[in-house]
Amino acid sequence: MLREAVYHKPWGAYAYLLDSDTLIVILKARKNDLKSCQLFHGDPWEPNKPLEKIDMKKAATDDLFDYFRAIKEVPASRRFRYTFLLDDGSEQLWYTEAGFSSKKPEPKELGIPFFEFLYLRENDAFSVPKWAKEAIFYQIFPERFYNGDKKNDPPNTVEWGALPVSHATFYGGDLQGIIEKLSYLSNLGINAIYLTPIFSSPSTHKYDTRDYYQIDPHFGDLATFKRLVQKCHDLGIKIILDGVFDHCGFEFWAFQDVVQKGPKSKYKDWFKIHSFPVKTQPKPTYETWGKDIWILPRFRTSNPEVKQYLIDVAVYWIKEADIDGWRLDTASEIDHDFWRDFRKVVKAAKPEALIIGEIPHDASPWLEGDQLDSVMNYPFRDIVIDFFAKNSITAEEFDARLAKLRMQYKQQVNDALYNLFGSHDTVRFLTLCDGKVEKMMLALVFQMTYIGMPVIYYGDEIGMSQSGHNWEDSRAVTEWNEIKQNHKLLNFHKRLVAIRKTHPALTGGDFTTLHWDSNANTYAYLRHNYEERILVALNNSAQTQKITLLEEKTGLAEGQVLVDLLSMERYKVQDGKIQLFLKSFTGVIIAEH
């Protein structure tokens, strides 16, 4: 047994409350090292009572490790002391907080050497808004979505459809345009919208905020925005805004006060000014977002006045317009204390408000239940691109990387991760697929049946791609000419969205890998809950492939009939297995009939 590979800690993603009455315990060990893993538990205040045993099941396997999981109803006493018995076939070892021993540990005062919860506090259970599990997001870059009110167009507006020349190319997209396209979005089936910034700003992207309390005049006004939110809610669509609280724009009123008054400005400590007078060239004399991007002065969020101002902004838009949450720009660049206070105030204003952070890497420190609800799942995007778009990893590597990512977070976090293919900051997914729609469609089958919130970047559903690999190309205007839209792809999106919304196992079920074949590049998995079992099989190769799924792994019964929700083709469990023949770059979603 490789002891160095065995790992557990009684907090984080290794031991946590799934809800107030359910405890999850995870142990990590070297891949294929343990034959069995058992958890023994009892009450720390009843040391003489025999310990109860749970056979831990293997929940996931990545490239190096196996993850064993126990799910336990919380005892009435809400006290829990535990240890592990590990067996690799040649030796048995007890694993406790003190380390390894061949002898069964004996309880001592204060629970040492056992792992222990002296009390499982129900308010420590991390909960995300209930609607997040069922959310299917649609991201909109307002300036490039649709021009619904030409009266508020910027004076230099160009013709809709022309390629953007720079970040300063205006097309006139606005909030009225979104209102006029809500029937389109409702027919697509999405039930949540994320808008990139809509507050007053001189740019097309609006990440250089001028006034956090004013809708940009080229987008509309407060009344228009409130009408948009109300119409979304009438259609069962949630709407969240982009909160740019790490930095503001050069024209932000408080920063302009510093520019004009220098060290005499009462707002000088709102920012990190290196020297006065404030200069932008040849290098900014103040801290900025990015590297010397002079139009984006960075806030000093540790300043209580700044913190209060920004948190007040967040609450204002919840109370004034009834928005459903925030997507937080560059969230990892703001201190944890800020986000803890932010969460308390936002959740007090609207308990079901969703808080999503832009953190491109492991976001565990922000996802303990005291700060964010979710993050933009860029690691998911990387895995999807490597497997489906680039074919640069095998099916085994695909499964291993997904497993590692799932085990990184608590289950309730995984259920609410923002699973994107692309955004306003990335190359469009179809472009990464070299324009091969069948690859994108296969990836969509996976996205819409995997754990987390699927996200559609505006225009992806109609086959929008880009000519280059820069930001502005990915922010081109939406193609509303139906002749130029890919209706096969659009209808495929609609079908998948409808399937996801109809089957609870896809929004709240567990995930189990059933099959991978790196030579054939095929992959299959099970989504399941108490209500149903959904099998998904993918052929990510250029040839027709056979996939065999065994009855014992799927939990299905001999003779049971299943149906592919995409083609309506029927399958039957025969001789303890299901055999599938999939054409190149196709997938099936098989449900119990």
What is the helix (H) or strand (E) element at residue 101, kind and residue range?
Answer: strand 99-101
- CA dist., res. 412 & res. 419, Å (int): 14
Catalytic: 97?
no
User: Parallel, antiparallel, or unpaired: how do β-strands 325-328 and 354-357 relate?
Assistant: parallel
Chain Cα centroid distance, residue 541: 27
- CA dist., res. 520 & res. 543, Å (int): 8
Strand partners for 580: 547
For residue 72, which of 21, 126, 7 has the smallest C-alpha distance? 21
Which parts of 330-385 fold into alpha helices (H)?
336-349, 378-384
One-letter identity of residue 529? N
Strand partners for 54: 39
CA angle, residues 206, 208, 211, in degrees to nearest 5: 85
Catalytic: 329?
yes
Query: Torsions phi, psi of 483, nearest 5?
Result: -65, -30
- Which residues in 150-251 belong to E strands, given as ranges? 192-195, 199-200, 211-215, 238-243
- Max CA pair span of the chain: 83
Q: Token pair for residue 385?
A: 């691109």
One-letter identity of residue 502? T
Query: Torsions phi, psi of 487, nearest 5?
Result: -75, -25
* 139, 292, 334, 499 from 422: Cα distances, Å: 10, 26, 24, 22
- CA dist., res. 362 & res. 132, Å (int): 20
- CA dist., res. 351 & res. 488, Å (int): 39
Chain Cα centroid distance, residue 366: 13
Active-site entry in 174, 216, 242, 358: 358
- CA dist., res. 250 & res. 293, Å (int): 10
Active-site entry in 216, 329, 460, 517: 329
Q: What positions carry a catalytic annotation?
A: 329, 358
